[in-house]
Amino acid sequence: MNKHPANRPPWFLVLLVFPLAAGLACAAAPIKVGIIGLDAHAVPWTQIIHSPKAAPPIAEMRIVAAIPAPSADIPVSQDNIEKNTARMRELGVEICETIEALLPKVDAVMLLSIDGRPHLRQARPVFAARKLLFIDKPVASSLAETIVIFREAKKSGTPCFSNSSLRYSPGIAGMTNDARVGRVLGCDAYGNNKSILPGHPDLFYYGIHGTELLFTIMGPGCQTVSRAKGETADLVTGIWKDGRVGTFRGLLQGSATFGATVFGEKGIAPAGKFEGYEPLLAEIAKFFKTGQPPVTVEQTLEIYAFMEAADESLRQGGRPVALQSVLAKAQKQAETP
């Protein structure tokens, strides 16, 4: 029998071509992502996502459209917006004038504007369009608005979540089962709290990173919060329901990196540091693929209640404030139109 390809029957060519065609059909199209707010993480995140070195699941996203959405009374927002918008265009991202114009072009949305005050208004059309939503910190400018955002997300059937990038740094997340430490008995977290956003609780901007670091290691269950403020630092102390103690030292002067000391049954050890945005972006990509948030709404609300309770404690001269009372007050405010 002549085995030269030219003499082979047509069905042989079909068998040759079919695996290639099937492979192409199975290759998933990238998740088209839109960004609302170009005054903070939009440029570095887009650079990571679009990098030829990006690996799945990050490489499975593509930033295709964005809206600048600056805030007039936040200087860093005004300072960054023009150059960041130009850079996004250079990265191949279409700049839209409205959220409504952006939504038909995308599968999912990242809400990245620095200012938490417009986040509820910005999130509502995303929920109406049923687009999966990641909200960068802060979720909103108050615990009450944070509750409203998650309530409206649930009502619309649109999953959303928000986290600090520190939650997923391996050296931080890994402390919950570190052999050197054993069961975690306490944690002293620290980090930058030099910058405060107008119209927000003091910890909502940079303090949230250290707060989420604390909760990543300690887990949920904080019952009371007290706060003392000096010239060089804020010290926020939480008492957990099992008697464990966790603190966040918000650094106001000097070096302001993020980190923690973890106290356990077997030993005491430092937690890792910030290790880049890639771990968080990988979680966002998985969320956009599955619709399953990596953390619960309840966990996020407890973190925001902790931060709001810290402000309330300071107003009361450092007295301990129950998180449940702060949550109850915010839930009542969230019911007010």
For residue 3, tell me if it sits in a domain. no
pLDDT above 60: residue 11: no
Average confidence score pLDDT of the chain: 93
What is the share, in percent, of the chain residues with pLDDT greater than 90? 90
Q: What residue numbers bound the domain in which 55 lies?
A: 29-165
Report the CATH number at residue 317. 3.30.360.10
Same domain for 270 and 135?
no
Q: What is the pLDDT of residues 290-322, one digit of tens each?
A: 999 999 999 999 999 999 999 999 999 999 999
Tokens 């999966």 — which residue? Answer: 132
90 exposed, middle or buried (CB, 10 Å; 0-12, 13-18, 19+)? Answer: exposed
Q: What is the pLDDT of residues 259-287, one digit of tens each?
A: 999 999 999 999 999 999 999 999 999 99
Same domain for 266 and 159?
no
C-alpha of 83 from chain center = 23
Asked if 139 and 114 count as a contact pair (C-beta separation under 8 A), the reply is no
Report the CATH number at residue 101. 3.40.50.720
Same domain for 73 and 181?
no
pTM of this structure: 0.91
Same domain for 73 and 175?
no
Give pLDDT, residue 27: 55
Helix, strand, or coil (residue 261):
strand
Q: What is the pLDDT of residues 162-181, one digit of tens each?
A: 999 999 999 999 999 999 99
Q: What is the pLDDT of residues 190-217, one digit of tens each?
A: 999 999 999 999 999 999 999 999 999 9
How are beta strands 233-240 and 245-251 bridged, if at all? antiparallel
Give pLDDT, residue 23: 37
Q: Is the dihedral of CA 172, 176, 182, 187 positive or negative?
A: positive
Question: What's the structural domain count of the chain?
Answer: 2
Token pair of 1 as six digits: 């029998």
Among 127, 143, 165, the domain-final residue is 165
Same domain for 81 and 131?
yes
**Residue that wins the pLDDT comparison between 337 and 302:** 302
The residue-averaged pLDDT of 8-19 equals: 42
Give pLDDT, residue 336: 81
Distance CA(83)–CA(85), nearest Å, equals 5
- For 194, what's the count of Cα atoms within 13 Å in the CB-facing half-sphere? 11
Cα–Cα nearest to 137, from 197, 188, 79: 197
Among 107, 140, 165, the domain-final residue is 165
Helix, strand, or coil (residue 126):
helix
Give pLDDT, residue 184: 98
What is the share, in percent, of the chain residues with pLDDT greater than 70? 92
Give pLDDT, residue 307: 99
Among 146, 165, 184, the domain-final residue is 165
Query: 103 falls in which pLDDT band (50, 70, 90)?
Result: very high
Q: Please report how the helices 323-335 and 143-156 are oriented relative to each other, as an axis angle in degrees rounded to 10.
A: 60
Same domain for 130 and 266?
no
Give pLDDT, residue 19: 41
